[in-house]
Structure 1
Amino acid sequence: MKLKTALIASAISVLTFNMVYSQAGATTPVFTPEQEARIGEIAAEYMRAHPDLLIQMSETLQQEQQEKQTRELKSAALAQQARIVKDNTIPVWGPADSPVMVVEFFDYQCIWCSRLAPELEKVMKANTNVRYYFMEWPVFGSRWPSSLLAAKTGLQVWKEKGADAYLKYHNGIYGTGMNEGRLTKEVIEKVSDNVQFSQKTIDSINVTLTKINDIATTAGLSGTPGIIVMPVNGATVNNTTVFAGMTEAENIQQAIKTAQGNK
């Protein structure tokens, strides 16, 4: 069956070449019109008799498309690395000389981000030598005002109190279990210990949110959550991992190993 499949595929390829060759204006096609028609009949008959071949072809196409998308996401992420690393308005936790960086794009009202939060906590506890970047990306802000307020408050906590206070706030908001519009202003104020905004900090925070949105979309992400794991130096498509969606701690851990040069 594999041999027949290969022969059919070869015939179709040659037939396609013949059609293109003819359209290009060549005077001597590989097959006559009658032969082309017969090859098409044979291929159709074979596929009807072996529908599993169509499934295999579909799976192969899907895999190729997924691999192409993954390569594109990695390349786009690599192009944004310098912007992320150099921007001191983005909350970060972990040693400055870390060889590996993990970048999380999230929304406090995203249910999948809520499910990812404890997974990332596990990773952070097991990898304190990694530098973590928290990209406040309130994609649900137009639907749920608390999404935008929580993001702005997080950035205010970062500005006023630094990394440890920010991480406490970040995990604290997710720890409430209030997502998909259930988070309230009162809860945000309580978790943040009532941080206050000023016009100056609000303007700066809005600029940061705009930059994060641009980084996320330019990196090819279409929503939250998103995770990028790469070496701080020498990052390539081979040692960079992008999770465009929910993932688990063991997958992030493996991505960190890959970034470290381990398999």
Structure 2
Amino acid sequence: MKRLLLKLCILLVAPLSMAVPALADTAETLSEERIKELALEAILENPEIIELAIQRLQQVQLERQQAAIAATLETRRTELERDPNAPVLGNPDGDVTLVEFFDYNCPYCKRAKPIVEALLEADPNIRVVFREWPVLSEGSVYAARAALAARQQDKYEEFHWALMAFRGRAEEASVLEIAEEVGLDIDQLQSDMQADDVDNHIRLSMQLAEGLNITGTPSFVIGNTVLPGLPTQEQLSAAVSEARALED
């Protein structure tokens, strides 16, 4: 407790004083009450240091998050970009991979649909890896499982775009209706939805999202760049160009 209070005191005093090393040198001689007094005195005399301390804390947290993201990209790159259990659109041998985390009940994911389609059309060397990440509702989970199961009938891409184009909520009834419209065998689909590879894909999506500090959909990963939220086509294209330059 004493050391924690000392650290807090140093954090508060640091923006104002170069005497922090001296304070640290006398750590063992300061009582807990004296440390509290020093922190309180610093706050009362210079209330603006609270804001400075908060900014510093936020910066430290950001640096830690960025380090964790970089570590995940380094150690789990193959799982992220080359998972054989993930759907791939575009050029399977493309020189740049874009990974999208999405939810079929996310309105911003649906707004990203034409952006991703335009990128696929404009760039013949792009690989797009879809990570089904159903986090918004039980209907989202049902839709994700159905989409992944549609791979067994070679209709993932068609079914995916149809689900993304649907303006209502993805629930069991609406998902099955769309499945029928794209020509899926419903009995087989419902059976394939229980397969281990469906569970494994969603589980890995959860793990990767956590490691990359992804907290919402859509989110895109291109090279070393993580783009949360709805990007413009220009932003995606710029990230792809940056990743491509790093590969050269």
TM-score (norm: length of structure 2) = 0.72
Aligned counterpart, 1:43? 42
Task: Give the drift of 1:101.
Answer: 0.8
1:15 is aligned to 2:12:
no
C-alpha offsets along residues 30-53 of structure 1, whole Å, 9 cap, x if unaligned?
x899x98996576334423xx2x4
**Contact 2:142 2:172 (8 Å CA) reproduced:** no
- Assess, with a 3 A threshold, how the Cα gap between structure 1 residues 104 and 36 changes in structure 2: closer, same or farther: closer
Task: Give the drift of 1:154.
Answer: 1.9
Root-mean-square deviation (Å): 3.6
Of all paired residues, the percent bearing the same amino acid is 22
Q: After superposition, where does 1:87-166 map in structure 2 within 5 Å?
A: 87-140=83-136, 143-144=138-139, 147-161=140-154, 165-166=155-156
Structure 1 window deviating more from structure 2 (251-260 vs 193-202): it is: 193-202
The number of equivalent residue pairs is 229
C-alpha offsets along residues 68-120 of structure 1, whole Å, 9 cap, x if unaligned?
21331232244333234554332111222212111112221233323333333
Aligned counterpart, 1:195? 185
Aligned counterpart, 1:26? none
- Assess, with a 3 A threshold, how the Cα gap between structure 1 residues 255 and 179 changes in structure 2: closer, same or farther: farther
Q: Extract unaligned runs of 5+ from structure 2.
A: 1-12
**Contact 1:110 1:179 (8 Å CA) reproduced:** no
2: CA distance between counterparts of 1:112 and 1:75? 28
Q: 68, 74, 83: which one pairs with 2:70? A: 74
Aligned counterpart, 1:259? 243
C-alpha offsets along residues 198-231 of structure 1, whole Å, 9 cap, x if unaligned?
389616x63223222332232224554332222x
Question: Which gives a bigger RCO, structure 1 or 2 (Cα 8 Å, sep 6+)?
Answer: 1
**Contact 1:74 1:241 (8 Å CA) reproduced:** no
1:227 is aligned to 2:220:
yes
Task: Give the drift of 1:65.
Answer: 1.4
